[in-house]
Every structure is written in C-alpha cells, then in structure tokens.
Structure 1
C-alpha cells in the first residue's frame, strides 16, 4: 500500500498550458480501481455524521452531500 501512495510525480495540463513534473506527497493514480475503495474508507466518518431526523447524508463513490433542515440557521 505504501508503494502505491508514495513516490509519485505528476504534471498539470490545461488548454495550452503544461506544467513541469512535480512530486506528490501522498496520492493515488486517477482512475486506479483502488481509489474509490480507499476514498470510501477515508470518508466513512463523514457519511455517518447525520444523526438527527433533520439531517441527511447522501454519498456515491466520491460525491458527498450533507443536508440539514431547520427553521432557523442556528438549528
């Protein structure tokens, strides 16, 4: 697992721009089949945050939405 997440390099491409290669401290390759599994494990506490009947968490792979319903902002 450590070899998968360390010693990685990347560059940024956008329109006509291309950066130099730079090191990534902790990362996983985009499109790697393990990325969604590792993200689900990492974000599990976030998904379990909604405890009240007026709170809801919706999650699918790497998209998460926290919804809270109340009459006033402080609720």
Structure 2
C-alpha cells in the first residue's frame, strides 16, 4: 500500500493539499481519512467540496482495486 500511496500523492498533489490519507484499499474497498483543519471549513463545518473529494477519491481507488487487483503500479 505504501507504493500506491506514494504513486497517488506524487501524481495527484490535490490529495496532499487536502490532507487525504489512504488507510486501506482492496477488494472494492478504499478508506481515506482527512484531518479537519480550519482552512477546510465553512461556518464551523467541513466544506462540502472537501467531502465530495473524499467520496470521489474513495470510489475511484475502490474501483481500481477491482480492475487491477494485483496492483497497477510497476
């Protein structure tokens, strides 16, 4: 998973900017965590765009885990 994380953060700097942390991936499941920070909030709650990015990233990585179950990084 470390190799995949390095690939994602290098190819998609947006992950690092938001602070998305891939915690688990495999068999159609991808779990990300994000630390709530002031700059990601609006009116004291996490901004909807941040949540949309979290959902989008989780779905994409979960799909990749099914399409490329052995990993797609060489």
Report which of the two has the higher share of strand: 1
Q: Which has the higher contact order (CA 8 A, sep 6+)?
A: 2
Greater Cα radius of gyration, structure 1 or 2 = 1
Report which of the two has the higher share of helix: 2
TM-score range, shorter chain: under 0.3
